[in-house]
């Protein structure tokens, strides 16, 4: 009723974060989400910043993405064999996809299998220049980043790791003490999942288009 789940992350303490892909009528969908979860304590619902990019994908790109979804680590030679495309074409397409802001190549880690470190996320609420604050955070905490930070409206989500709970608490306090940071909350993930069924269906639907180039504008 609202949209498709992009990722779902249950955290220590009974908190779950869910990202939902919404095509249109965003504010109405936020109101609907609140109504659907009236029996659940909702900490926050906010919209991510619209980057305003055009994906300009081709059917060849979609075919390669479909294979990468099934097995992200497969070799170019295997993709070439399965698609009937040359290795040069596959390499060129993957290079193009990596440069596309609409395609995210990242690591999905299992928090339960990480030894010697504690993965955690810090959600910082910003009152001021978001980009400038992010640059300052990059300078201050880049050695503790597990993944690149995520920007959403007036929030910055830092994906970090620490050696123990004391270092984790110290990093959180340092984030809170930074300029433009109104508050910061600490979350420790138990599991990270990216439901892919909706994405596979979207690729299948897009491949039916009669045009070669499929240009999508984000909403």
Residue 7 bridge partners (DSSP): 19
Please give the CATH number for the structural domain made up of 57-106+197-214.
1.10.10
Model pLDDT, residue 219: 39
User: pLDDT value at position 45?
Assistant: 79
pLDDT single digits (tens) 168-197: 999 999 999 999 999 999 999 999 988 888
Q: How far apart are CA 216 and CA 188, in angstroms?
A: 34
Q: Is CATH 3.40.50.620 what the domain over 115-187 is classified as, yes or no?
A: no
Q: Between residues 72 and 166, which one has the greater pLDDT? A: 166
Tell me the whole-structure pTM to 2 decimals. Answer: 0.73
What is the pLDDT confidence band of residue 212, given thresholds at 50, 70 and 90?
low
Do 57-106+197-214 and 115-187 show the same overall fold? no
pLDDT at res. 204: 86
Q: For residue 151, what pLDDT band results from cuts at 50, 70 and 90? A: confident
pLDDT (tens digit, 9 = 90+) per residue, 156-170?
Answer: 999 999 999 999 999
Asked whether residue 52 carries a pLDDT value surpassing 60, the answer given is no
- Considering just the CA atoms, what is the radius of gyration of the chain in Å? 19
Residue length of the chain: 219
Query: b/e per residue, 93-128, with b = 16+ CB within 10 A?
Result: bbebbeebeebeeeeeeebeeeeebbbbbbbbbbee
Domain boundaries in the chain?
A: 57-106+197-214, 115-187
How far the first Cα of the chain sits from its last, in Å, is: 17
Using one digit for the tens of pLDDT, what is the confidence trace for 75-114?
Answer: 999 999 999 999 999 999 999 888 877 777 777 888 989 9
Q: Is the pLDDT of residue 44 over 90?
A: no
pLDDT over 90, % of the chain: 42
The 3 state secondary structure assigned to the chain is: CCCEEEEEEEECCCEEEEEEECCCCHHHHHHHHHHHCCCCCCCCCCCCCCCCCECCEEHHHHHHHHHHHHCCCCCHHHHHHHHCCCHHHHHHHHHHHHHCCCCCCCCCCCHHHCCCCEEEEEEEEECCCHHHHHHHHHHHHHHHECCCCEEECCEEEEEEEECCHHHHHHHHHHHHCCCCEEEEEEECECCCECCCHHHHHHHHHHHCCCCCEECCECC
Q: Using the predicted structure, report yes or no on whether residue 153 has a pLDDT greater than 70.
A: yes
pLDDT(48) > 80: no
The pLDDT confidence band at residue 57, using thresholds 50, 70 and 90, is confident
């Amino acid at each position: 009723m609202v949209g498709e789940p992009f990722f779902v992350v249950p955290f220590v303490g009974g908190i779950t974060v869910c990202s939902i892909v919404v095509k249109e009528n965003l504010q109405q969908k936020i109101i609907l989400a609140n109504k659907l979860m009236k029996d659940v304590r909702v900490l926050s619902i906010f919209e991510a910043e619209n980057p305003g990019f055009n994906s300009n994908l081709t059917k060849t790109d979609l075919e390669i993405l479909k294979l990468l979804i099934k097995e992200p680590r497969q070799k170019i030679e295997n993709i070439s064999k399965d698609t009937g495309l040359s290795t040069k074409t596959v390499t060129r397409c993957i290079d193009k996809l990596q440069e596309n802001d609409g395609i995210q190549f990242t690591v999905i880690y299992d928090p339960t299998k990480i030894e010697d470190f504690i993965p955690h996320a810090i959600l910082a609420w910003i009152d001021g220049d978001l980009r400038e604050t992010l640059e300052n955070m990059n300078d201050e905490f880049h050695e503790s980043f597990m993944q690149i930070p995520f920007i959403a409206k007036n929030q910055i989500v830092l994906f970090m790791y620490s050696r123990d709970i004391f270092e984790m608490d110290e990093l959180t306090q340092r984030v809170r003490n930074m300029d433009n940071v109104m508050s910061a909350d600490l979350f420790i993930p138990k599991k990270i999942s990216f439901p892919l069924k909706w994405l596979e269906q979207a690729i299948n639907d897009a491949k039916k288009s009669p045009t070669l180039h499929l240009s999508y504008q984000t909403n």
